[in-house]
Structure 1
Amino acid sequence: MHVLSSRVLLRPRDPEVSREFYGRTLGLAVYREFGTGPERGTVYFLGGGFLEVSGRSDTPPTDTLRLWLQVADCSAAHDELSRGGAHILRPPVKEPWGLIEMWIADPDGHRIVLTEVPADHPLRFRP
């Protein structure tokens, strides 16, 4: 199988609230939009991937799905997201494995980890 592109599909309870969160609060850039009306689709850039917010669901979020977003500076992201009213689950912490991680939740409760790879972390170096 040769995969050409991929994206995570998200069916929020309230698409407008989720678009506000991903577009304004997180500041994700729009890749494309399709359809019309409140349930139209919006696809956001996620670094090397995409997040599509479209449709609607009344089903609670699953606890088995997480979004992992690498950022340049977790402290700066924490400050920016706090000012923007994001639901911060945990502020930035340096983990035992050397990455700096913080946790937030989207309006439906989907958990999102923001990760910073410090300059001296082995992930920055290729053998």
Structure 2
Amino acid sequence: MVQVLSSRVLLRPADPERSRRFYGETLGLAVYREFGTGPERGTVYFLGGGFLEVSGRSSDAPTPTLQLWLQVPDAARAHEELAGCGVEVLRPPVREPWGLIEMWIADPDGHRIVLTEVPADHPLRYRP
């Protein structure tokens, strides 16, 4: 059995500096750690209960089979702020049939990110 002690999602962007501005400044993710030097240096961001590492470089197109899921306290406010910053909004906040409020954005390389709000009346808020 593999014992997992920590984990993170690795992102190889086309333009690392642009992606660091997006994740660090536009989304406001806090930096967990940085390593290396220069434009290829790595930056690891906190993602709530996980981590996102932006390092290296790739010219490959983003895969639609990998998406980021980020829980936010207020999807409508996130929509307003991110749209105001010029972030590509793929879909504004919508209450889904399963009760969560979800909006979709894209990072500078086109990686899809869902921002999810758990409403106060949703069962995920209650613990028996």
Map 1:102-113 → 2, pairs under 5 A: 102-113=103-114
Other-structure match for 1:43: 44
Other-structure match for 2:27: 26
Unaligned runs of 5+ residues in structure 2 are: none
**How many angstroms apart in 2 are the aligned matches of 1:94 and 1:58?**
35
Q: Which runs of 4+ in 1 moved over 4 A?
A: none
Quote the sequence identity (%). 81
Other-structure match for 1:17: 18
**How many angstroms apart in 2 are the aligned matches of 1:83 and 1:32?**
28
Number of residue pairs aligned between Structure 1 and Structure 2: 127
Give the TM-score taking structure 2 as reference length.
0.97
Map 1:1-127 → 2, pairs under 5 A: 1-127=2-128
Deviation per CA, 1:73-123: give whole Å up to 9, x if none: 001111111111111111000001100000000001000000000011011
Contact 1:25 1:85 in 2 (8 A): no
Give the TM-score taking structure 1 as reference length.
0.98
Unaligned runs of 5+ residues in structure 1 are: none
Shift of 1:16: 0.6
